Amino acid sequence: MTQVIQKKLNDSVIARWAALILVALMMFFAYMFVDVMSPLKSLVESNLGWNSTVFGTYAASEYFLNVFCFFLIFAGIILDKMGIRFTGILSASLMVLGAAVKFMAITEWFAATELCQWLNSWWPELPGNAKMACLGFMIFGCGCEMAGTTVSKSIAKWFKGKEMALAMGIEMAIARLGVFAVMWIAPIVSNKFDASVVAPVGFCTALLLIGLICYSVFAIMDSKFDKQLIAAGEMNEEASEEEFRISDLGKIFSSKMFWLVALLCVLYYSAIFPFQRFAPNFLETTLGIGADEASQLFSFFPILAMVLTPFLGAFIDYKGKGASMLMLGAIIMICCHLSFAFLLPMFPSKTFAMLLILVLGVSFSLVPAALWPSVPKIIDAKILGSAYCLIFWIQNIGLFLTPIMIGATLNSTGGYTVPMIIFSSFGVLAFFIGVYLKIEDKRKGYGLELPNVKK
């Protein structure tokens, strides 16, 4: 009987990896919804009457509530107080609700309503349907960012002392597959419904419902896991250790390592996710190709990241060198964005563009694979959820401001050279912060360069 109690659910290879797949599927569908309108930018402008500034404002709205209403900070507190089951189901439900509002906003039905006409009457630079779509994207963004931190803490719990970086790498790979999928599926669904923007958004909204179901199944598994922890005498000890207090947030804000990781995160991701919103249109205008072909070309961006991230996670688990990977990823990103700015317009080749996109994907595998498993090394477990959420909150500030800046720059310059220079400058700053992070790690011995698996 003692042996049965000691063998917990996460000791089973099948069980813990099944749990990973369930939470990763939720993020896969979330990533699809995030970028569902990216390959349709030209169509959105013609069908909905938006310009680049409006599109940039819409893209930024995903992060508005997280940044200015501090939702992500509250999300961290909710996560540490209520646990991964409650928080995960709440986040998935918010994503479905926000997606439904955005879906309604871009329909012809909503455009004919008095509400839309009233929304058109104030701040006319942003159409009424865009305002409502932004509201829906804000609600979705609250759920999506909360889900990201919840999944990270879920993996940290289920893979504690096991293949944590590998598991996080595979989760990120599955999530990024959503970017690849939507770059192909959104134009296909749109063409099936007479160049519709509404149909792809509705399709991805339905997939988010499936994601909610997947996480609900995981919650049942996690409940059983907790019962095993209690039976093994581990839950009470863990619970007392992880009792959360608001005052613990001060420990996070006073940590120099936290701020270095957070600043590196915001700079790096501000050069990646906002770029994804504009990349299909950038390729369309730079290479002189159709929107469908441009989105399909960019869809290969996450391919190398999907393939490499799990292997890089395993490398970090067994060999280490996390801080060095952060620096290398920043260098690769700088080179790619500068090439997009200057070399690709001079040599407008689809093959060259594909090469740059794939290499950028290598950067997108190096940095996240090293970044997220590093956080538990510098932050206590009892405030880990809040730490992740605070990092995401700081990251969201950049993700909110950058699309607005890029959209306005694009409108004023009429080309993508300056926006690409802006993206590359973020990489330069991220590199120098990575250097400082490695110096601090060497001085204080946090173990960012050391393997995760203890021999």
**What tens digit of pLDDT does each residue of 380-423 get?**
777 776 787 788 788 889 988 999 999 899 989 988 999 999 99
- Domain extent at residue 205: 10-444
Residue 452 falls within a domain, yes or no?
A: no
Mean pLDDT score, 205-230: 92
Q: Which residue has the tokens 């011995």?
A: 445
From 184, 192, 198, select the one nearest 43 (Cα to Cα): 198
Q: In whole angstroms, how far apart are CA 392 and each of 71, 73, 195, 198?
A: 11, 9, 35, 29
Residue 210 falls within a domain, yes or no?
A: yes
What is the reported pTM?
A: 0.78
> Got the DSSP string for 212-265?
HHHHHHHHHHHHHHHHHHHHTT-HHHHHHHT---GGGHHHHHT-HHHHHHHHHH
CATH of the domain at 419: 1.20.1250.20
> Looking at per-residue confidence, does 244 or 166 come out higher?
166
Q: Tokens representing 105?
A: 């906003």
Mean pLDDT score, 131-154: 92
Counting the structural domains of the chain, the total is 1
Measured between alpha carbons, how far is 71 from 418 in angstroms, rounded to an integer? Answer: 32
Residue 450 falls within a domain, yes or no?
A: no
> Got the DSSP string for 246-261?
GGGHHHHHT-HHHHHH
- Taking 90 as the threshold, does the pLDDT of residue 424 lie above it? yes
From 271, 272, 240, 257, select the one nearest 390 (Cα to Cα): 257
Residue 300 falls within a domain, yes or no?
A: yes
Q: In whole angstroms, how far apart are CA 163 and each of 159, 175, 205, 454?
A: 6, 18, 32, 11
Residue 218 falls within a domain, yes or no?
A: yes
In degrees, to the nearest 5, what angle opens at C-alpha 427 toward C-alphas 426 and 433? 95
Task: Read off the pLDDT of residues 22-58 as tens digits, 9 standing for 90 and up.
Answer: 999 999 999 999 999 988 988 898 889 898 889 889 9
Residue 2 falls within a domain, yes or no?
A: no
**CA trace torsion 47, 49, 53, 57 (10° rounding):** -70
Residue 454 falls within a domain, yes or no?
A: no
Residue 1 falls within a domain, yes or no?
A: no
Measured between alpha carbons, how far is 441 from 216 in angstroms, rounded to an integer? Answer: 39
